[in-house]
Structure 1
Amino acid sequence: MSQTADAAPPPASARPSAGAGSYFAKDSDLPFHAPDFTKLTSADYQPAIEAGIAQARAEIEAIAANREAPTFANTLVALERGSRMLNRVMPVFGQLTSANTDDTLDATEKAVSPRLSALYDDMFLNDKLFQRVKAVYDQRAALALAGEDAMLLETTYAQFVHAGALLAPAQKEQLKAMNTQLAELETEFSQKLTEATAAKAPVFDSAEELAGLPAADLAAAKKRAEEKGMPGKYMIALVNTTQQPALSFLTNRAARRKLFEASLNRTSGGDQYDTTAIVARIADLRAKKAALLGLPNYATFAMYDRMVKQPGEAMTFMKGFVPALAATQAREAKMLADHASAEGDTAALAPWDWSFYAEQVRKAKYDLDESQIKPYFEVWRVLEDGVFYAANQFYGISFKRRTDIPVYHPTMRVYTVFDKDGSEMGLFYSDPFARPNKKGGAWMNNFVEQSSLIGDRPVVSNTLNITAPAEGEPALATWDDVSTMFHEFGHALHGLFAHQRYASLSGTNTARDFVEFPSQFNENFATVPAVLNHYAKHYQTGETIPQALIDKIDAAAKFNQGLGFGETLEAAMLDMKWHELKPADAAQDPKAFEQQALASFGLKTDLIPPRYRSPYFRHIWDNGYAAGYYSYIWTEMLAHDAWDWVVKHGGPTRANGDHVRDSFLGQGHTKDYAVMYRDYAGRDPQIQPMLEARGLVDETDKPAAR
Structure 2
Amino acid sequence: MADTANPFFSPSTLPYQLPPFADIRDEHYRPAFERGFEEQLAEIDAIVAAGEPATFENTMLPLERSGQTLQRVAEVFFNKSSSDSTDFTNALEEEMAPRLAAHQDAIRLNPELYARIASLHARLDELGLDPESRYLVERYYTEFTLAGAGLDDADKERLREYNQRLSTLTTRFEKNLLADTNELAVVFDSAEELDGLGEGELSAAAQAAAERGLDGKYVVTLVLPTGHPWLADLTRRESRERIMAASRARGIRGGDNDNRDLVLEITRLRAERARLLGFDTHAAYVTADQTARTPEAVADMLGRLAPAAARNARAEQADLQRQLGDDETVEAWDWAHLTGKVRAEKFDVDFAAMRPYFEAERVLRDGVFYAANRLYGITFTERPDLVAYHPDARVFEARNEDGSELGLYILDLYTRDSKRGGAWMNPLISQSALLDTPTVVVNNLNVPKPAAGEPTLLTYDETNTLFHEFGHALHGLFARVAYPRFAGTNVFRDFVEFPSQVNEMWMLWPEVLENYAVHHRTGERMPQELVDKLHASESFNEGFATSEYLAAALLDQAWHRITADDAVEDVAAFEAQALADVGLDNPAVPPRYASTYFAHTFSGGYDAGYYSYIWSEVLDADTVEWFRENGGLKRENGDRFRSRLLGVGGSKDPLEAYRDFRGRDAEIEPLLKRRGLDN
Report the TM-score, using the length of structure 1 for normalisation. 0.94
Distance 2:199 2:565 in 1: 53
Shift of 1:19: 7.4
Equivalent in the alignment of 1:363: 344
Equivalent in the alignment of 1:467: 448
Match of 1:668 among 638, 642, 649: 649
Equivalent in the alignment of 1:81: 65
Q: Is the 8 A contact 2:426 2:443 kept in 1?
A: yes
Equivalent in the alignment of 2:182: 198
Distance 2:275 2:198 in 1: 52
- Could you say what secondary structure the match of 2:411 adopts? strand
Distance 2:353 2:602 in 1: 38
Q: Is the 8 A contact 2:430 2:439 kept in 1?
A: yes
Equivalent in the alignment of 2:668: 687
Using the TM superposition, name which of 558-567 and 474-483 deviates more. 558-567
What pairs with 1:75-474 in structure 2 (closer than 5 Å)? 75-341=59-325, 346-474=327-455
Identical amino acids, percent of aligned pairs: 44
Match of 2:494 among 507, 513, 516: 513
Q: Is the 8 A contact 2:8 2:28 kept in 1?
A: no
Distance 1:626 1:355 in 2: 28
- Could you say what secondary structure the match of 1:584 adopts? coil
Distance 2:341 2:287 in 1: 42
Equivalent in the alignment of 1:557: 538
Q: Is the 8 A contact 1:20 1:51 kept in 2?
A: no
Using the TM superposition, name which of 218-227 and 403-412 deviates more. 218-227
- Write out per-residue CA displacement over residues 650-691 of structure 1, whole angstroms, 9 at most, x where no aligned residue: 222111111111211111122222211111111111111111
1:503 aligns with 2:492: no
- Could you say what secondary structure the match of 1:696 adopts? coil
- Write out per-residue CA displacement over residues 387-434 of structure 1, whole angstroms, 9 at most, x where no aligned residue: 111111111111111111111222222111111322011111111111
Q: Is the 8 A contact 2:568 2:574 kept in 1?
A: no
- Could you say what secondary structure the match of 1:37 adopts? coil
Equivalent in the alignment of 1:30: 14
Equivalent in the alignment of 1:493: 474
Q: Is the 8 A contact 2:233 2:352 kept in 1?
A: no
Aligned letter for 1:385? D
- Write out per-residue CA displacement over residues 198-222 of structure 1, whole angstroms, 9 at most, x where no aligned residue: 1111112222222222222122222
Equivalent in the alignment of 2:553: 572
Shift of 1:601: 1.3
Aligned letter for 2:499? P
Q: Is the 8 A contact 2:7 2:20 kept in 1?
A: no
Using the TM superposition, name which of 263-272 and 38-47 deviates more. 38-47
Q: Is the 8 A contact 1:268 1:276 kept in 2?
A: yes
Distance 2:542 2:77 in 1: 38
1:622 aligns with 2:628: no
Cα distance 1:304–1:21, how it changes in 2: closer, same or farther (>3 A)? farther
Match of 1:588 among 562, 565, 569: 569
Distance 1:402 1:309 in 2: 44
Distance 1:681 1:29 in 2: 41
What RMSD in Å do the two structures reach over aligned CA positions? 1.4
Distance 1:22 1:302 in 2: 38
- Write out per-residue CA displacement over residues 600-650 of structure 1, whole angstroms, 9 at most, x where no aligned residue: 111353111110000000001111101111100011111010110111122
Which of structure 1's runs of 4+ aligned residues deviate more than 4 A?
A: 17-21
Distance 2:380 2:464 in 1: 20
1:537 aligns with 2:518: yes
Shift of 1:223: 2.5
Aligned letter for 1:616? Y
- Write out per-residue CA displacement over residues 332-386 of structure 1, whole angstroms, 9 at most, x where no aligned residue: 0000000111xxx721111111111111212222222233111111112111111
Shift of 1:18: 9.5
- Could you say what secondary structure the match of 2:627 adopts? helix
- Could you say what secondary structure the match of 1:431 adopts? strand
Distance 1:541 1:253 in 2: 33
Distance 1:246 1:474 in 2: 17
Using the TM superposition, name which of 54-63 and 441-450 deviates more. 54-63
- Could you say what secondary structure the match of 1:321 adopts? helix
Q: Is the 8 A contact 2:7 2:28 kept in 1?
A: no
Q: Is the 8 A contact 2:441 2:476 kept in 1?
A: yes
Cα distance 1:235–1:391, how it changes in 2: closer, same or farther (>3 A)? same
Aligned letter for 2:661? Y
Shift of 1:586: 5.2
Aligned letter for 1:96? K
Q: Is the 8 A contact 1:20 1:48 kept in 2?
A: no
Distance 2:540 2:114 in 1: 53
Equivalent in the alignment of 2:640: 659
- Could you say what secondary structure the match of 2:227 adopts? coil
Q: Is the 8 A contact 1:520 1:639 kept in 2?
A: yes
Q: Is the 8 A contact 1:449 1:458 kept in 2?
A: yes
- Write out per-residue CA displacement over residues 525-560 of structure 1, whole angstroms, 9 at most, x where no aligned residue: 111100111111111122111111211222232211
Q: Is the 8 A contact 2:312 2:544 kept in 1?
A: no
Aligned letter for 1:693? R
1:60 aligns with 2:41: no
Q: Is the 8 A contact 1:222 1:233 kept in 2?
A: yes
Match of 1:605 among 557, 582, 586: 586
Distance 2:460 2:26 in 1: 35
Shift of 1:21: 6.3
- Could you say what secondary structure the match of 2:256 adopts? coil
Aligned letter for 2:638? G
Aligned letter for 2:55? T
Distance 1:438 1:19 in 2: 31
Distance 1:136 1:611 in 2: 45
Distance 2:228 2:504 in 1: 22
Using the TM superposition, name which of 205-214 and 682-691 deviates more. 205-214
Q: Is the 8 A contact 1:20 1:47 kept in 2?
A: no
Using the TM superposition, name which of 564-573 and 205-214 deviates more. 205-214
Q: Which runs of 5+ in 2 are unaligned?
A: none
Shift of 1:581: 0.7
Distance 1:573 1:275 in 2: 20
